[in-house]
Amino acid sequence: MIRGLSSPDRSMSSAVADTVTRLNSARLSTCSSTRRYPLTPIFTIRSYAREDRASLIALLWELPLWYPRGLHWLQARLTDVEHGAASATIAVAHGATVGVIIDTPKAQDRGKLSTLYVAPGSRRRGLAGQLLQIRECSWIEQGLRTVSCTLPWPQGAATYRFLAGYGFTSVALARQRYGPRRDELVVTWQQH
Ligand SMILES: CC(C)(COP(=O)(O)OP(=O)(O)OC[C@H]1O[C@@H](n2cnc3c(N)ncnc32)[C@H](O)[C@@H]1OP(=O)(O)O)[C@@H](O)C(=O)NCCC(=O)NCCS
């Protein structure tokens, strides 16, 4: 267990608890990056499980406002996760999901980071950094060379600054991806 992470919930299924242990072991064994801040003990970070679906949709309630068919898209991604075709890691506090990262392996050695979100009341406590570093360890373990992510631009500028702190760089600006004044910045993480 990573120092500063709370133990998995007693109610967590053994499969999920195993995943948490594996994620933490993976980080210790393969990752050189270090967390910047100790995580507040009330947060538990673990793999998403089917019973988290409603809580996760509640966390991302704004998604349909940001993206056309956002709810439909999220439901499809969570189904992918439940079938092992994508990965979701969540942060839980007092029974509520307060943070999430979702990524999907693509062809060959590529991946797509589709969602990184922390509830406004839980920000600036190191949660997103922790979620990102856990996934980064997994990307390294899987041998991914590139993980890309798109951000609404300029609305996603703060998220871009955050990702840049973890090695993501901007590679393209897709103009009017979702309509007038809805540009998207494409950023990538690369394993060197
Ligand atoms: C970007 C985002 C994920 C960051 O989440 P977060 O949990 O606040 O991130 P962290 O706490 O790990 O880091 C945020 C900042 O707080 C700082 N920080 C973290 N813990 C800290 C602490 N204990 N003391 C002081 N600073 C701290 C980090 O260094 C970081 O600084 P930076 O702004 O210079 O990079 C969050 O703001 C968010 O969800 N934004 C919206 C994202 C979005 O719209 N997504 C699209 C839908 S998918």
Mean pLDDT of 84-94: 96
| Pairing assessment for the beta strands 169-174 and 87-93 based on DSSP bridges | unpaired
Domain boundaries, position 149: 145-192
Q: Are residues 7 and 35 in the same domain?
A: yes
| Cα 35 to middle of ligand 1, angstroms | 13
Confidence of residue 177 (pLDDT cuts 50, 70, 90): confident
- Give the pLDDT confidence score for residue 35 in this predicted structure: 59
Rounded Cα distance between 126 and 93, Å, is 14
**Cβ contact 10:16 at 8 Å:** no
| Cα 124 to middle of ligand 1, angstroms | 5
Which pTM was predicted? Answer: 0.82
Q: Are residues 43 and 22 in the same domain?
A: yes
* Pocket probe mutation, ligand 1, options 65, 162, 163, max atoms within 8 Å of Cβ: 162
What's the half-sphere exposure (Cβ side, CA atoms, 13 Å) at 6?
Answer: 17
Q: Are residues 137 and 172 in the same domain?
A: no
Q: Are residues 43 and 74 in the same domain?
A: yes
| Cα 159 to middle of ligand 1, angstroms | 8
Ranked by mean pLDDT, which of 11-25, 54-68, 129-143 comes out on top? 129-143
Question: Does 98 have pLDDT greater than 90?
Answer: yes
